[in-house]
Amino acid sequence: MAKRLSTALREIVKSAKAKRITLGGKSAGALTNKVIGTLSGYYRNAIVGDKNNVRDMQKQIIATLYHSSSTDKKHNHSLCPQGKQSWCFYKRAVVVENILPIYERLSNEELLARCTQGFTQNANEAIHSVLWRKCPKNNFSSKTRVEIAAAHALSEYNLGRQRSAEILASITSSKMTSHAEKITTQKDKKKETRLTRNMNQSLKLLEFQKICQITGFDIIEIRLMLSEVM
């Protein structure tokens, strides 16, 4: 979900540039890649932090945008939660005006309802990528080919490349070569390593959030303090 926000923000910067409206760049208040990454992190934290309540989730997501647009003369903290906040990165109203529709779309109740309990939306996207790699969207395919590709993609995604290849070989009465076995095993190990790394990152995020609830600090402040100590 956070990836969708970062992609949409980068696209709005590109489309604005085509209209001679500068949202990115190096000037103060620019919607840089660093700012986009930070906003995406806040979006992710809002979903995980209020994963049991869609209304609160929605409120926190919009709050991060308005808080980030605050200035000394004009405060936009009415939706912000209690506690210390330091999200104020850019100050130009044109940025908020352009990216507000993105936040409204990605804080849609129906979309956020699928994020309750903190489950990721990347699983379906990953399955789709496997499917369309076997059966590209830009090429016409018959119904039979799409069904075969879907079955193979699901098998590969759920069972792994090696097991899926073994099943396919048994169906076609063929035999896997030693090279094919080596390649499929390596790819399965890479997938397992990636999943383990993502799981560890999720656990670290939950630990940071617990610390935030106890101390009242946000994640960035805690990381800065830890970096100074270390």
* Of the candidate ranges 5-9, 97-101, 134-138, 160-164, the one whose mean pLDDT is the lowest: 97-101
Both tokens of residue 90?
Answer: 């850019």
pTM, full prediction = 0.36
Kindly state the greatest CA–CA separation across the chain.
74
Confidence of residue 92 (pLDDT cuts 50, 70, 90): very low
Question: What is the three-class DSSP state of 20?
Answer: coil
Q: Please state, in angstroms and as integers, the Cα–Cα distance from residue 47 to each residue in 31, 116, 117, following that order.
A: 22, 8, 9
* Of the candidate ranges 36-50, 137-151, 190-204, the one whose mean pLDDT is the lowest: 190-204
